[in-house]
Chain A
Amino acid sequence: MRITLRIRRFDPWTGEPHWDADYPVEVDPTDRILDALIRVKEEQDGSLSFRRSCAHGVCGSDAMIIAGVERLACKTLVRDVAVEEGAVVTVQPLRWLPVQRDLMVDQDAFFAKFRSVKPFLINDEPVGDGKERVQGQAERAAFDDATSCILCGSCYSSCPVLEANGAYLGPAALVQAARFVFDSRDRGFAQRMSLLDRADGVWACDNHFNCTRVCPREIKVTKNINALKRQITRSKEGSS
């Protein structure tokens, strides 16, 4: 079938505003949108700029807004967003991050927020048997959801809170915090608490659930954030 990709183009160095360019492209309904983008780049316009690597939804390079929703281009099939012959599919860069070129955004601020929550296991205690830390299956299951995160930035772009408050840590960094806070082996809650228990931390989340809806890894992002809120509240009650 033939569809049109309507791609938001932008090169900040030219001083020109962004524009939407139409690219008709022949596709199968089961092709990935990434396949269509590659075809446009190879056959129509070599300057079209986007990131991609694994092409099957695990590396997080190609998050973008396709047909109005944050998705991975390699995990979105044509039939997911275009049913009819001649359909127009819009493709735009993620929001709340500076556009570098076309569909490429500068993720430095996003990763700085990730780093700020101390995204690593904190535990200086010696390991019991000198080999492994024992962790029950239920304890392991408690943070399983959060371990799937590939830091693609879809949730960040979908979050309406960030539009008004750019200082908000954002859903991805909070999921990463939850991954450690709820790991029975971690001892870093006190250190992370001061980062999370702020107006720009967990409390900025208004439960819009956009993040949960768009997450390509199907992480229950909002649920993780709410679990952090409860954990913080509980720990304050416990200490007062």
Chain B
Amino acid sequence: MIHEFDALIVGAGGAGLYAALEASVAARTAVLSKVHPLRSHTGAAQGGIGAALGNVEEDKPEWHAFDTVKGGDYLVDQAAAVLLAEDAVRAVYDLENRGLPFSRTPEGRIDQRRFGGHTRNFGEGPVRRSCYAADRTGHMILQTLYQQCVKNGVEFYDEFHVLDVILDGRRCCGAVALEIATGEIHTFRAKAVLFATGGFGRMFRVTSNAHANTGDGPAVLARRGVPLQDMEFFQFHPTGIKGLGILITEGVRGEGGVLRNRKGERFMERYAPGLLDLAPRDMISRAILTEIASGNGMRGDGRIDDWVLLDATKLGREVLEKKLPDITGFCRTYLGIDPAEAPIPIQPTAHYAMGGIPTDIEGRVIADESGSLYEGLYAAGECACVSVHGANRLGTNSLVDLVVFGRRAGQHVAGFVKTAGYGPLAKDAAEPARALVARITEGRGPNGKLVREDMETVMMEKVGIFRNKGGLRVAVEKMKELRGRMGEVRMQDRSKRFNTELVGILELGNLVDLAYLTATAALARTESRGAHARDDFPARDDALWLKHSMARLGEKEAVMGSRPVDVSRWAPKPRVY
């Protein structure tokens, strides 16, 4: 079946919905989502959205921009960070005006709290910048944006899984998707296609990410020759629930919670004497693993699955119930503890992809090392890399990224399709997608479980918080092997309708491709920067590596390239907190 739209948006989390709101005002727009939009993972974001409103203490967008650059270990494109911080203020007011129920100050203004790496006056001390709605800020953003889409009659194709993008050289002509309900393959012809498919934390064994976070957009584009940027930078959030990886928001530490090891020490005093428990996430995750390795984890055996404690007992029951009700509930449900009375056992959890589809500040996808652009191809949100997060994203900046760049991309799409025509659509445009599905459907083979387990384990152990050449080489070879083994994977379920097993295999193929690029990029970068920590290259190396990596899926091997970083505003300095 062939559909024709001005604009096609793939993904309906925060970035996709905001883009849809903007694009649908001016253009015939369709939104594809493999899950109902309200099931999107934006809804799981907890702690807040950063914006220098200055509602509770002095703050400036310039400080926010600087913190973002420093937090990203200077791999952030600085003009983009300035734009992010300035537009964040407008975006938060816009969300409020559209109905988002922010928590309020006694004066009835949007309340703000502390978050990691956010400081006043270029690092002097923590600042209250995170605008929040209890600990369900992402839920409220997702709800509010979906409500607005209902109000504005945006056209959704729910439970359509993207299979392919249709490119004619550097011109995007549409996309191909699987309708999960029927098993039919649909071709969507569009003047512009915007990918907003979210993250891909499911490549790791312990992750805060939803099952749906499988990087479908980046993987589909990578297989069509689009380079992916900064894939080696994957954030481990320091506080996941032990064993499960379920996120415990940084807001707990923003409200005064502290990390302690088995001796009861507040160990962050030794790692970040200035910001302590509100240092950026990469530093805290490394600190936790260092404590664990030196026998200071709760079990004390130095093994990687040991844990430490997040002590929130001092906050008191009232603060926990009012400001952190969801995480209080998670602790009760999954750990059987009351965080007002007992500390929370935590360990780092794979959380956020800093890397992804390279774009300019309008969301247009970058095609090569020189920065030339695709026509009619856009990306926004976690699947994109603008780059405003550089080597390590600050807490609250993911939600800022969604609303700022989702909106900008949507606006640009709306303008573009007014004058643009359609790219050429070959008769057999859907054939590669059809062949992929047919391969998985026909004949017998393993169901992919072992491939998934191998990928998760190797990525966790060799491409996790601390990395080295030996481990990364093993990981690269393993991912090559797994890509080969994906060719043998077959589904057992023979039904066309609601075949969730087929979707799962397609998702796994996407993860394995992205895991391969992640491991390859991590092996190539012989320095430590932000979330990429190499035991064998412990220092940052600006002379050699102050540049974005570009990883391409070649015919046989991945090919690495690079692009310059915009450091026009603040010269790189050592990153201490």
Question: Which residues on A sit within 8 Å (CB–CB) of B36?
Answer: 61, 107, 111
**B-facing residues in A104-127 (Cβ within 8 Å):** 104, 107, 111, 115, 118-121, 127
What chain A residues lie within 8 Å of B139 (beta carbons)? 58, 148, 150
> Is the Cβ of B44 less than 8 Å from the Cβ of A49?
no
Please tell me if B122 contacts chain A, counting CB pairs below 8 Å. Answer: no
A56 in complex: contacting residue of B104, B147, B246, B447, CB < 8 Å: B246
Choose one: B99, B109, B491, B497; the contact of A134 (CB below 8 Å). Answer: B109
Residues B181 and A100 in contact, CB atoms below 8 Å apart: yes
Contact B96 A132 (CB under 8 A): yes
| Any A CB within 8 A of the CB of B424 | no
Q: Which of B223-231, B326-334, B516-524 contacts A (4 or more CB under 8 A)?
A: B326-334
* Interface pair B498/A100, CB less than 8 Å apart: yes
Q: Is the CB of A132 within 8 A of B97?
A: yes
Contact assessment for B104 and A59 in the assembled complex, using a CB-CB cutoff below 8 Å: no
Chain A residues with CB under 8 A of B136: 58, 147-148
B93 within 8 Å of A (CB atoms): yes
Which of these, A46, A60, A218, contacts B492 with CB under 8 Å?
A46
Shortest CB-to-CB span from B259 to chain A, Å, is: 21
Return B112 CB to nearest CB of chain A, in Å. Answer: 12
Compute how far the CA of A144 lies from the CA of B134 in the bound complex, rounded to whole angstroms.
10
Q: CA of A43 to CA of B446 in the docked complex: distance in angstroms?
A: 11
Contact partner of B210 among A54, A136, A150, A186, CB < 8 A?
A54
Q: Would you call B565 an interface residue if the criterion is a C-beta within 8 Å of the partner chain's C-beta atoms?
A: no
Tell whether, in the assembled complex, residue B96 and residue A133 are in contact, meaning their CB atoms are under 8 Å apart.
yes
B493 interface hit (Cβ, 8 Å): yes
User: What residues on A are CB-neighbors of B333 within 8 Å?
Assistant: 57, 75, 77
Distance (whole angstroms) from the CB of A213 to the closest CB of chain B: 16
| Complex interface residues of chain B between 77 and 132 (CB less than 8 A to chain A) | 93, 96-99, 101-110
Task: Tell whether, in the assembled complex, residue B107 and residue A134 are in contact, meaning their CB atoms are under 8 Å apart.
Answer: yes
- On whether the beta carbons of B497 and A46 are closer than 8 Å, the reply is no
Q: How far is the CA of A167 from the CA of B99 in the complex (A)?
A: 29
A54-B210, A121-B147 known; A133+B97 contact, CB < 8 A: yes
**A60 and B104 in contact, given A53-B211, A132-B110 (Cβ under 8 angstroms):** no
Contact A46 B140 (CB under 8 A): no
**Contact between A104 and B44 (Cβ–Cβ < 8 Å)?**
no
Q: Is the interface of B mostly helix, strand, loop or mixed?
A: loop
Residue A52 CB within 8 A of the other chain: yes
Residues from 176 to 221 in A contacting B, C-beta threshold 8 Å: 180, 183, 185-186, 218
**Closest CB of chain A to B12's CB: distance in Å?**
12
Q: Is A143 an interface residue (CB 8 A)?
A: yes
Docked complex Cα distance between A140 and B96 (Å):
12
Contact B495 A11 (CB under 8 A): yes
Residues of B close to A118: CB separation below 8 A: 151
Q: Is the CB of A56 within 8 A of B334?
A: yes
Q: Is B372 among interface residues, defined by CB-CB distance under 8 A?
A: no
A55 to B201, CA, bound (A): 14
* B44/A52 in contact, CB under 8 A: no
Q: Which residue of B lies closest to A119 (CB)?
A: B147
Whether A137 is near chain B, meaning CB under 8 Å from some CB there, is yes
Chain A's closest residue to B41 (CB) is A54
Are the CB atoms of A132 and B93 closer together than 8 Å?
A: yes
0/1 interface trace, chain A 65-95, chain B, CB 8 Å (1 if under): 0000000000101000000000000000000
- Are the CB atoms of A144 and B501 closer together than 8 Å? no
Are B500 and A49 in contact (CB-based, < 8 A)? yes
- A13 — nearest CB in chain B belongs to which residue? B497
> Is there contact, CB below 8 Å, between B501 and A46?
yes
Residues on the B chain within 8 Å of A148, using CB: 136, 139
A103 to chain B, nearest CB (A): 10
Contact with A along B519-541 (1 / 0, CB 8 A): 00000000000000000000000
Complex CA gap A13/B181 in Å reads: 12
Name the CB-closest residue of A to B92. A132
Known contacts: A46-B492, A47-B494, A53-B212. The answer to whether A58 contacts B44 by CB under 8 A is yes
Whole-angstrom CA separation of A100 from B97 in the bound complex: 38
Bound CA span A13–B442, Å: 21
Does B246 contact A121, Cβ atoms closer than 8 Å? no
CB distance from B410 to the nearest CB of A (A): 18
User: CA–CA, A132 to B90, complex, Å?
Assistant: 10
Are A58 and B326 in touch, CB under 8 angstroms?
A: yes
User: Please, how many angstroms separate the alpha-carbon atoms of A239 and B348 in the complex?
Assistant: 58
Enumerate chain A interface residues (CB-CB to B < 8 A).
11, 13, 30, 41-43, 45-47, 49-61, 75, 77, 100-101, 104, 107, 111, 115, 118-121, 127, 131-137, 139-140, 143-144, 147-148, 150-151, 180, 183, 185-186, 218
Question: Can you list 21 A-B pairs, Cβ within 8 angstroms, ordered by A?
Answer: A41-B501, A46-B492, A47-B492, A47-B495, A49-B498, A49-B499, A50-B500, A54-B43, A58-B44, A58-B136, A58-B139, A59-B40, A75-B333, A120-B147, A120-B148, A132-B96, A140-B101, A140-B102, A143-B101, A147-B140, A148-B139
